[in-house]
Amino acid sequence: MPTYLDLANWPRRELFEFFRDFDNPYFNICTRLDVTNLLAELRHHPDVSASLAYHYFALKAANEVEPFRYRLRNGQVLVHDVINGGTTLLLPNETFTLVYFDYADTFAEFIGPAQCAVEETQKNRAFRPRHEDDARIHCTTIPWISFTSFSHARNWRREDSVPKISFGKFTRENDRLLMPFSVEVHHALMDGLHVGRYVARIEEMLAQPEIYLNSRVHA
């Protein structure tokens, strides 16, 4: 069950109150992730797309770093027990829709339902944003651009505190394959320290992807 944070005893209370009413309270950090080992490991998993694999790592890390589960709710901070995922999906007519998938501790539990969600969305092509469901992170993939900065469209009329994650075009640098990665979050809920922990956790998983892609137990 989601619970509310005890703001009176939260060490970040003053920062929360300072940032929550900013006209633009979001900050964005862009970096590059080394996906060399992931792509090498996926040669042993020909039915698994790289996109769903790195979405899984991003979602797993978001569940493990607690502030990524914080959401603004009428001046309070709601803490979700678990958050799920959602991402953009390109359609044959060069528009896009949104596909949603649930979190699972292991990749083995995650990948089947996630693949089914993608296939079903490709068939019906319906554009049905789930604005009312903030127990997830919002992702997008821009595989045509090796970006170095990024910002997201925001609806200022809504209390939007969902983290926004972006993945870019793979590029080769010497013998490594690198992917642009953007994290945009609400500064009332977290700081650079927390984004740093989030990125570090993803880097840790990408360094040894075989542990997670081949495991049927929580890693």
The answer as to whether 46 is a domain residue is yes
CATH of the domain at 113: 3.30.559.10
Answer yes or no: is 16 within a domain: no
48 falls within a domain: yes
Residue 55, domain member (yes or no):
yes
Nearest to 60 by CA among 52, 70, 71: 52
Paired tokens of 68: 């990524």
Distances 53 to 122, 131, 148, 158 between C-alpha atoms, Å: 18, 25, 22, 31
pLDDT in tens, the chain (219 residues): 889 999 999 999 999 999 998 989 999 999 999 999 999 999 999 999 999 999 999 999 999 999 999 999 999 999 999 999 999 999 999 999 999 999 999 999 999 999 999 999 988 877 777 777 899 999 999 999 999 999 888 876 677 899 999 999 999 999 999 999 999 999 999 999 999 999 999 999 999 999 999 866 555
Per the structure, how many domains does the chain have? 1
**The token pair that represents 12 in the structure block:** 């970040």
d(CA 17, CA 177): 41
Find the domain containing 171 and state its range. Answer: 3-7+36-213
The predicted model scores a pTM of 0.94
Task: List Cα–Cα distances, 108 to 69, 115, 174, 214, in angstroms.
Answer: 23, 12, 32, 8
